[in-house]
Amino acid sequence: MTVTLRSLETAIPPTVLVQDEVRDTFAAQPGLTRLGERLVRTCFNSAAIDTRRTALAELSLNDTSEHPKFYDARSGLLLSPSTKVRNDIFAVEATKLFIEAAAKALDACAGITAADVTHVITVSCTGFFNPGPDYKVVRALGLNASVQRYHLGFMGCYAAFPAMRAAKSFCDADPHAVVLVVSAELCSLHVRTSNDPDAIMGSSLFADGAAAAIITAREDLPASGPAIRLDHFETVLTPVGEEAMAWNIGDEGFEMVLGTYVPHIIDDHIVGALEPLLAHDPTVNGRPYSDIEHWAIHPGGRSILDKVETKLELSEEQLHPARETLRTVGNMSSATVLFVLKRILDLPFNGGNERICSMAFGPGLTVETGLFTRVGGPVQPGSAEQADRAAPLGVPAAV
């Protein structure tokens, strides 16, 4: 039985963060030391990001709300709301993105209607509420009240993989299952001014967005363009790095730990992390990594992508979907690798089956990997890749 990702759609909030403008705002905060200011400029300048999106209209830097919570445009000061204030906004704004992405994925899947969905899996690590996003999606899309609902919370940047793996398991067990997977993250809720290098790094990288997929093994559906066959997943914990990447709850938002040693850990252990995944399939095991057509790498940051490209001897073209995702919309935690897969899905199709090796990293240090196959017909007009080529530098593609 073949389990296939039949549709994959994304959603981003309307407010655009221009990297240089946000950099100058963070660098101008009165509490920064001289070292802190230098770190802000270095992190923002080296992030390989032009634009990001945020659900916080205040962070447009020209919003003149009477009672600002995050940024006071009149004084130029970044504010420090409590975790409760941030989470209350998450409950409202994340719900919008969950529903928008889910509705788009359902609409894009030929032969599938709301009545066909049997399982809903939602993913997020940037906020909590209950009844949760799984409930909100079921109600908003008019899904059956008997739909099985699951929420994967607070896992971090790799969480789309456990979600897809669970969806595959449901479909392997039931050939009629139709699983809706939705990831939405509001990382910008937790940015803050600080002299702490980890907080500065997070402020330079993180953004908001959502992605949703329809996954099923049903064989009675019409062909509707390219799709992704979910072949195999693996999980690896590196022997070091437990303290190098973490996500903690503080009084003024969630606090990221992203040590500068993380790219070196990935450099040392990425080959070993790929071994159990590729050993599963003799058609790719033992071949050069560059022979695998597509690489959907979670762009945790520019230096991580640099390490992956160099260590695995990949081409610039193979890392292009990941780098373009980072450049145009930043790091949206668990949703980001789905944005990368969307770009690969929308590439021109040359016929035959094209392999995809996908990977994301998160707290632990956890390495999640997936081996997929791209199958199907030609790309439709208006794809993310076509938008990248048409858009001037600094203007986000319509992903």
Average pLDDT of the chain is 91
**Structure-token match 């203007």, residue found:** 395
pLDDT for residue 384 is more than 70: no
User: The tokens of 207 are what?
Assistant: 């953004």
Measure the CA–CA gap between 387 and 202, rounded to whole angstroms.
Answer: 27
Q: Is 70 exceeded by the pLDDT of residue 378?
A: no
C-alpha dist (Å) from residue 180 to 10, 148, 197, 293, 388: 13, 10, 37, 27, 27
pLDDT per position as a tens digit, 80-103: 999 999 999 999 999 999 999 999
Active site residues: 157
Q: What is the pTM of this model?
A: 0.93
Q: Do the bridges between strand 245-250 and strand 208-216 make them parallel or antiparallel, or are there none, so unpaired?
A: unpaired
pLDDT value of position 377: 55
Over the stretch 149-179, which tens digit does the pLDDT of each residue have?
Answer: 999 999 999 999 999 999 999 999 999 999 9
* DSSP-assigned states of every residue in 266-294: HHHHHHHHHHHHHHT-TTTTTS-GGGSSE
Q: Per-residue pLDDT averaged across 369-384, rounded?
A: 70
User: Average pLDDT of 194-204?
Assistant: 93
Binned at pLDDT 50, 70 and 90, residue 203 comes out as very high
